[in-house]
Amino acid sequence: METRPPEVRSRFELAAARMADAWLRAGGVRVSTHDFRIARDFLERDGWTVEELPGVFVRLRCGDLLSDEMTREAAVLVALRRLVAPGEWRRRALRRGGAHAPPPVEIPADMAPRPWPRRRACSLGSPLPAAARLTA
């Protein structure tokens, strides 16, 4: 019985193991320009549009799904998620978090402070505070 190796459909499939080994040895994720091009090609074949932004950030788009700004490293991690789970929803591939997610943006709100504290609802819907419900 002859076992054949699985068919390779993209250069990224071959490069992914090499990239992951390098990240483990280095103790962090670093993506070269060459590796990013390989991942970008894979994402574009998978139906994504990769938009390069000023600096080293990119934005991914697939249909009406648009990502936030992300680093090239984060985009390569999206490609890895698509490689290992191609049947997963594209939105799940864009999940946030991790060391390569951009920092949250603080948006100032032009609101006056409340003159009174926010009222909290009681857990049982009673207008009485919890302590009063226990003694009543």
Give residue 66's pLDDT. 82
How far is 53 from 63, CA to CA, in rounded Å? 19
| Confidence band for 40, pLDDT divided at 50, 70 and 90 | very high
H or E element: which one contains 61?
strand 57-62
Is 5 a member of any domain?
A: no
Whether the predicted model's global pTM rises above the 0.75 cut: no
Structural domain span for residue 75: 11-93
Give residue 34's pLDDT. 94
CA distances from residue 129 to 49, 115, 126, 132 in whole angstroms, order as listed:
54, 21, 8, 5
Is 117 a member of any domain?
A: no
Bridge partners, 109 (sequence order) = none
Is 41 a member of any domain?
A: yes
Is 112 a member of any domain?
A: no
More confident site: 97 or 66: 66
Mean pLDDT in residue range 48-60:
89
Residue 7 is which amino acid?
A: E
Is 122 a member of any domain?
A: no
Q: Looking at the 3D structure of the chain, how many domains does it have?
A: 1
Please, is 18 exposed, middle or buried when counting C-beta atoms within 10 Å of its C-beta (0-12, 13-18, 19+)? exposed
Is 68 a member of any domain?
A: yes
